[in-house]
Structure 1
């Protein structure tokens, strides 16, 4: 990355360069986490398929007969429940990936390359705090949404229609704006701050808040564009696999259809995660470094670490 204030093009170019420069510690870590998590539903569905004769007939016509084989129902619940559980494990694992990518990005800024093991070792002493930070931020968001939903219920039950409409017209845009504010000022930069500075959970949130002060719209614009880009790219990467799985279900017999469906969904998740997670984490880490460069002349410190300045 250029050791100066970064433009949008600089940030995206640096993110791609970091991934190409160190694919094992970026893409490799994301793939490893996603593959291990998605292996759980795949193995469970395979075991059920070959031991209980679990079947899924995608070509069957809808019927008014509501009877269903209990074993098949239990198998469906177990398979898709395991897929959901695997997704939760994947999300937890990706928390650690974002922490690793923050270290990889900081090292790449001064021309150093961390191996996968070195990137993981760099998070030592911060892993529990990283999980705690993620839990706290998620809890704050959940509480805010819950309070707003409860207020809506109270308003809907007690006020006349005209007042309910007025409430919605005023509070819905305000609530969405509040979520955007929370995302950028509170949620977006604490992970790299926690990983790269000697701060705790609340200190990391405070650092993210201070670094985005006066830079909300710029940070928001880059973050929102990144979300849109990675979701589109992730969808493009995973779509052929998902569509192929749907078509394959129609081609194979009912005894292997559910295994194929779960397998392709798991593979699609791994392929999408391989790009989405490291690129998003790298962009956020670069924005953190960019804000420190702009506000704290951190580029001088990076130049010293890189050996450019003495």
Structure 2
């Protein structure tokens, strides 16, 4: 048969699924897409309809994936949250780089002056008396010269001790400002430390006196037993006392390590600062001990590497010295090496202590919330506007 267009029609029924031109396929409903496609206005399969929230597992707007936490506020050298070991060490380096004049410059002035005074006081009497060469050769030196040299060396040691207190306190002030990203000059650091200097010196002298007293008492026991019952008995008693002395000294060193920072930043009295240092350390003693020991090892390795060339050169000159002038040059060379090592490592060590103290307050007292209030002041705030945040309320 023919169709209207003059062609031949399809013989028999159409094949399954066939639809004539212009007609929808079987099962198709007007206004709906083919099977497997979402209707108009609806998201693809697996997504909830409009008004029913985001797809499964997708975080709400403004949040990251599951477990994600936004980065902590970091106005200065550390983020204002509990710190890791790397963040403490990086912060101790960052505050030096952010304010080299008040860290390396200050340390250089104090260390060079102290080392120069100590060298003059220790070597000067022997050089003036012309007995520096006999001392090197192992010959006898008059008692008067020896007493004068010993007294001068003692004065030099005291001067070095006092200068270390001043340097530690001023660097503590610098770190306290660097936490908020604020700078400080050497004069401003001195002004802030000046009122706390005597408390810092008093604590340091008392700490040294207690250590000497406890050492004398402990070692008097095996020495007395050795005289009374023999050397073997003294050694037998002395071994456990030696272990006790090392363990006790280490415990006191760590437990009191935050006291200088508390004296300067919290402005407490000596007794209150000591008690507070013990309270902060005892909650996490082993972590504080581990970080302090690691920092001590780093400081000693770096200091030794820096001082080694100067020390080696000084020793070689001293062995080949044939005059007082060459001996003085060798001693000056060794002193220069020690000064350079101290200039580089002292700010880092002070920074580690203060940042450890800050970390302990954050972990034990939610101190990061207090620090964040200071960070909210913004960069236009006065640098000293955050100093009061370190204070603690005392009854």
Report the counterpart of residue 242 of structure 1 in structure 2: 311
Counterpart Cα distance in 1 of 2:100 and 2:263: 23
Distance 1:40 1:267, change over 3 A: same
- CA shift, 1:99, in A, is 0.9
Report the counterpart of residue 356 of structure 2 in structure 1: 287
Cα RMSD over matched residues? 2.9
Distance 1:267 1:82, change over 3 A: farther
| TM alignment of 1:251-290, pairs within 5 A | 253-290=322-359
- For the 8 Å contact 2:317–2:327, the answer to whether it is kept is no
Counterpart Cα distance in 2 of 1:59 and 1:114: 46
- For the 8 Å contact 2:134–2:141, the answer to whether it is kept is no
From 98, 117, 125, give the equivalent of 2:195. Answer: 125
Distance 1:59 1:147, change over 3 A: closer
Distance 1:171 1:55, change over 3 A: closer
- For the 8 Å contact 1:26–1:101, the answer to whether it is kept is yes
From 227, 237, 241, give the equivalent of 1:171. Answer: 241
- CA shift, 1:54, in A, is 6.2
- For the 8 Å contact 1:190–1:204, the answer to whether it is kept is yes
Q: Which runs of 5+ in 2 are unaligned?
A: 1-77, 379-395
Report the counterpart of residue 193 of structure 1 in structure 2: 262
From 155, 167, 177, give the equivalent of 2:225. Answer: 155
- CA shift, 1:77, in A, is 7.5
- For the 8 Å contact 1:38–1:83, the answer to whether it is kept is no
Question: After superposition, what is the alpha-carbon deviation per residue over 1:262-294, rounded to whole angstroms, capped at 9, x for unaligned?
Answer: 212321221121123211111111111111111
Counterpart Cα distance in 2 of 1:128 and 1:69: 39
| TM alignment of 1:1-310, pairs within 5 A | 1-43=78-120, 56=133, 74=145, 82=152, 85-159=155-229, 164=234, 166-185=236-255, 187-249=256-318, 253-307=322-376
Counterpart secondary structure, 2:218? helix
- CA shift, 1:241, in A, is 0.9
Counterpart Cα distance in 2 of 1:161 and 1:214: 42
- CA shift, 1:78, in A, is 6.0
Counterpart secondary structure, 1:128? helix
Q: Which has the higher helix share?
A: 1
Aligned residues: 300
Counterpart Cα distance in 2 of 1:57 and 1:228: 38
Question: After superposition, what is the alpha-carbon deviation per residue over 1:75-125, rounded to whole angstroms, capped at 9, x for unaligned?
Answer: x88678656643432222011111111111111001111111111111021
Counterpart Cα distance in 1 of 2:173 and 2:136: 50
- For the 8 Å contact 1:41–1:83, the answer to whether it is kept is yes
- CA shift, 1:141, in A, is 1.3
Q: Which runs of 5+ in 1 are unaligned?
A: none
Counterpart Cα distance in 2 of 1:162 and 1:208: 40
Distance 1:272 1:80, change over 3 A: farther
- For the 8 Å contact 1:59–1:250, the answer to whether it is kept is no
Counterpart Cα distance in 2 of 1:166 and 1:246: 39
The TM-score, its normalising length taken from structure 2, stands at 0.68
The TM-score, its normalising length taken from structure 1, stands at 0.85
